[in-house]
Structure 1
């Protein structure tokens, strides 16, 4: 299959991350060469699947920075998708706090002008914290397409999540559109 571009797919520790294998297959069907990155907690959650996910993508699954001087094991990204993006990931990214690999790469991606889409996965209690809206606004102001609210992810009440209803297709549609424009 000819690839249409390299997609860095980054996931945080929210229940929809358990469906990432299906999302990778969908992205590959769209022609993407997928590289999977996970926050440390998401990597721990998916530890039993990591070898399978590496086999599926053909690339190492990354959750940590490489050592200085080590070659990069991934091809350069054409587009980045961050989903599910937790409250913590959105706020760290919006504030530029890059101690985790995923947030570091996406923060740098803004400066490298890599087209990026993000879709949160947060409950309605978290979004009451004023920093969340500020972080979403900051990311949007820096050119990140944030799929939040109408036409994107709509928060549910705490404890009433519906991970199987997470609209992954919206993330992949946006990534494809951003990639086609580049």
Structure 2
């Protein structure tokens, strides 16, 4: 049995545009328009899921999907840094930010570590491999990163080397405890001007 997982990152929001840790805000107008323009462009799936964040649920809805929020697919819990930019946090807590960016087991913000996120997503992927057919999930960029790290058995520090653009699609196919990563799928829709 082959399982397929398509991970779609959320459309643009003010938080993403300002490089802020998710603050629970909505998509911005251009992000919502771009997601609506992509409605119908994704293949059918046996199940459609979403990170519980507002921007992921709104992206799913704009894509015409009825995504079921799944707690295991939540973005990284950054504790007291939520809603702040990395630059703002770095100005106040430079040593903490430095440790966080170099040690995947570190969580100076009081939330969860990158290592914890990767372990959570690894467990979810193991369960997803038991689902025949395609799973489509609109998830936070850090969940996409964690899934790629898990699927390819990469060292956790690689997490920071993976860039995920808005509305990008990452495709994994798995069988027998092994995942493959399909590269080269374009973002869901072209830019809306």
Same fold (TM over 0.5): no
Q: Looking at secondary structure, tell me which structure has more helix per residue.
A: 1
User: TM-score normalised to the size of structure 2?
Assistant: 0.33
Computing the radius of gyration over CA atoms, which structure comes out larger, 1 or 2?
2
Which of structures 1 and 2 has the larger relative contact order (alpha carbons within 8 angstroms, sep 6+)?
2
